[in-house]
């Protein structure tokens, strides 16, 4: 896809969930000067996300530019006329401040509500290994909020509420099959994340980047992020800077052989080039020959389930889909 096509695609993706970004993205797709600025973003990083987040990052710090008047999280009475001229002015005026973010930052949206799909999947795997404590290894954890999954409370409507944590994650269950959750959370032996660029919830600039990646209309996600970041500050996850594929074997070697492992990733694999996807699969399959290892991978929107993502499970022998979930975890269907 050309850059203009990427912004058009992104605008379509925003329909119904962010009218502000939809309109700005369509404006960018037709503006050669802003597209030239977007060329500064290295490929495979989610160019539209990075440009919009870089602008948002600055507005969160200083909302004095007229563009802020269009952002529903920055003003009580957002303007409704075309936001693109103000966006364009901002990009021209703040180009030198934007460039370091465009060149160095990544799409690292840490959507903690995705844990509403992970929690039943972890429970399922825990049952599979006879409730032995699991060593969790997350690939592409961003700030590691989802590694703190057992600190949160889960509300699944009629299915019930599980946990006592102050950060409450709610999700609608859209399947007849009930996700296998209970008040007894799966026991944890250890938790480690491997990310090319781990974000630190104690660092103001990193937390602002996480906030900036959330679309301005999504106030509930902003609130959840703040609560989950507070949890992660109290229970800092062990995050290792590295490549999920190249560094996975060393991380696995550090986990005692008799401890069952649950490797998981959500919305990370789309950032890998195809050959790296194949290498990741091969590494995991090889590791599963040597020890008890399960892999959960949340990836790829599928039309079959209203454009939801699928959570696939590899048990060491075969692959099955455990759940379909809305991209940010607002609902799930349990499939097994």
Ligand X SMILES: C[S@@+](CC[C@H](N)C(=O)[O-])C[C@H]1O[C@@H](n2cnc3c(N)ncnc32)[C@H](O)[C@@H]1O
DSSP-assigned letter for residue 119: H
Site for ligand X contains 267 (CB under 6 A): yes
Q: Which stretch binds ligand X (CB under 6 A): 4-12, 101-109, 152-160, 171-179?
A: 101-109
Per rule CB under 6 A, count of chain residues that contact ligand X: 23
Q: Are strands 293-302 and 261-266 parallel, antiparallel or unpaired?
A: parallel
Q: Which stretch binds ligand X (CB under 6 A): 4-12, 85-93, 134-142, 165-173?
A: 134-142
Site for ligand X contains 47 (CB under 6 A): no
Site for ligand X contains 268 (CB under 6 A): yes
**Coarse DSSP helix, strand, coil percentages of the chain, rounded to the nearest 5 percent:** 45, 20, 35
Q: Minimum Å distance from CB 29 to ligand X?
A: 22
Site for ligand X contains 271 (CB under 6 A): yes
Q: How many residues does the chain have?
A: 336
Site for ligand X contains 207 (CB under 6 A): no
Residue window 141-170: x/- pattern of binding to ligand X, with contact defined by CB under 6 A: xx---x------------------------
Q: Alpha-carbon distance 65 to 119, whole Å? A: 42
Q: At residue 194, what are phi and psi to the nearest 5 degrees?
A: -120, 120
Q: Which stretch binds ligand X (CB under 6 A): 65-73, 251-259, 267-275, 302-310?
A: 267-275
E strand segments, 35-177: 134-139, 153-155, 161-162, 168-170, 172-173
Site for ligand X contains 108 (CB under 6 A): yes
Contact pick of 6, 47, 73, 109 for ligand X (by CB under 6 A): 109
Q: Which is nearer to ligand X, 45 or 291 (CB)?
A: 45
Angle at the Cα of 162 from the Cα atoms of 129 and 131, rounded to 5 degrees: 10
Q: Alpha-carbon distance 229 to 234, whole Å? A: 9
Site for ligand X contains 107 (CB under 6 A): yes
Q: Alpha-carbon distance 297 to 138, whole Å? A: 10
Q: Which residues pair with 239 in a beta bridge?
A: 193
Site for ligand X contains 194 (CB under 6 A): yes
For residue 188, the SS3 value is strand
Q: Which is nearer to ligand X, 69 or 222 (CB)?
A: 222
For residue 323, the SS3 value is strand
Residues binding ligand X (CB under 6 A) = 106-111, 114, 139-142, 146, 194-197, 243-244, 266-268, 271-272
């Amino acid at each position: 896809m050309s850059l203009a096509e990427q912004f058009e695609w992104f605008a379509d993706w925003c329909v119904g969930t962010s009218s502000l970004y939809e309109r700005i993205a369509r404006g960018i797709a037709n503006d050669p000067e802003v597209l030239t600025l977007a060329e500064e973003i290295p490929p495979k990083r989610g160019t539209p996300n990075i440009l919009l987040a870089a602008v948002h990052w600055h507005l969160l710090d200083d909302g004095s530019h007229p563009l802020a008047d269009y952002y529903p999280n920055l003003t009580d009475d957002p303007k409704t006329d075309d936001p693109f001229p103000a966006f364009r002015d901002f990009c021209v005026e703040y180009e030198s401040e934007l460039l370091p973010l465009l060149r160095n930052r990544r799409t690292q949206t840490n959507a903690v509500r995705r844990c509403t799909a992970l929690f039943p999947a972890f429970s399922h795997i825990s049952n599979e290994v006879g409730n032995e404590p699991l060593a969790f290894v997350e690939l592409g954890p961003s700030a590691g909020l989802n590694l703190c999954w057992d600190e949160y409370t889960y509300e699944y409507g009629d299915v019930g509420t599980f946990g006592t944590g102050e950060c409450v994650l709610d999700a609608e269950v859209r399947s007849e099959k009930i996700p296998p959750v209970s008040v007894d959370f799966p026991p944890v032996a250890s938790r480690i994340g491997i990310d090319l660029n781990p974000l630190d919830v104690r660092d103001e600039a990193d937390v602002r980047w996480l906030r900036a990646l959330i679309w301005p209309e999504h106030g509930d996600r902003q609130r959840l992020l703040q609560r989950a970041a507070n949890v992660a500050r109290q229970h800092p996850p062990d995050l290792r800077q590295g490549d999920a594929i190249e560094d996975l074997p060393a991380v696995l070697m550090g986990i005692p052989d008799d401890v069952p492992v649950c490797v998981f990733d959500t919305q990370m694999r789309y950032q890998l080039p195809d050959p790296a996807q194949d290498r990741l699969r091969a590494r995991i399959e090889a590791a599963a020959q040597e020890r008890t290892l399960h892999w959960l991978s949340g990836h790829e929107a599928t039309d079959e389930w209203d454009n939801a993502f699928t959570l696939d499970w590899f048990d060491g022998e075969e692959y099955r889909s455990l759940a379909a979930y809305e991209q940010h975890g607002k609902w799930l269907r349990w499939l097994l």
